């Protein structure tokens, strides 16, 4: 019991001493603004961070994401074709594909698929 407390006190004193030594050695007297700022490749870190962002580019990226999710939903539909009732499978597939086509038409009609402004 006495040995455990003595060992604990030695460990605490040793760790506090090393921590104080490291703090004393690592003090910097001069902080350079360029060295302490985060580095971003190709960007000036001292410039204004809120640059204008093209909403059209964002919408096209969202459309690609939606189309990828649609493909992920269609693939299991194809795999379940052999294990389901054919009439139910055809009706479900047609409803799903019609919803996708209506969404594509809506995006095309509103001009969201144009690559140039």
Q: Is residue 76 part of a domain?
A: no
36, part of any domain: no
User: Is position 45 within any domain?
Assistant: no
Angle at 86 (CA atoms; ends 81, 92), nearest 5 degrees: 75
Residue located via tokens 């294990």 = 83
Given this model, what pLDDT does residue 60 score? 79
pLDDT of res. 13? 94
Q: What tens digit of pLDDT does each residue of 44-65 get?
A: 555 556 666 777 777 778 888 8
Q: Which helix (H) or strand (E) holds 26?
A: none
- 75 lies in some domain: no
Residue 100: domain span: 56-63+87-117
In degrees, rounded to 5, the angle at the alpha carbon of residue 95 between the alpha carbons of residues 91 and 97 is 115
Asked whether residue 10 is domain-assigned, the answer is no
Q: Is 115 among the domain residues?
A: yes
Residue 26 included in any domain:
no
- Quick check: is 110 in a domain? yes
Identify the band that residue 35 occupies on the pLDDT scale cut at 50, 70 and 90: low
Q: How many domains does the chain have?
A: 1
Separation of alpha carbons 84 and 91, rounded Å: 12
């Amino acid at each position: 019991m006495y040995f455990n407390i003595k060992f604990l006190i030695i460990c605490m004193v040793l760790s506090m001493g090393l921590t104080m030594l490291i703090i004393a050695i690592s003090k910097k007297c001069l902080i350079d603004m360029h060295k302490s700022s985060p580095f971003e490749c190709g960007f000036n870190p001292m410039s204004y961070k809120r640059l204008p962002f093209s909403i059209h580019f964002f919408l096209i990226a969202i459309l690609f994401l939606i189309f990828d999710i649609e493909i992920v939903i269609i693939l299991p539909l194809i795999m379940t074709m052999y294990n389901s009732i054919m009439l139910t499978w055809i009706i479900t597939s047609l409803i799903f594909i019609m919803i996708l086509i209506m969404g594509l038409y809506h995006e095309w009609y509103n001009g969201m698929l144009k690559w140039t402004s």
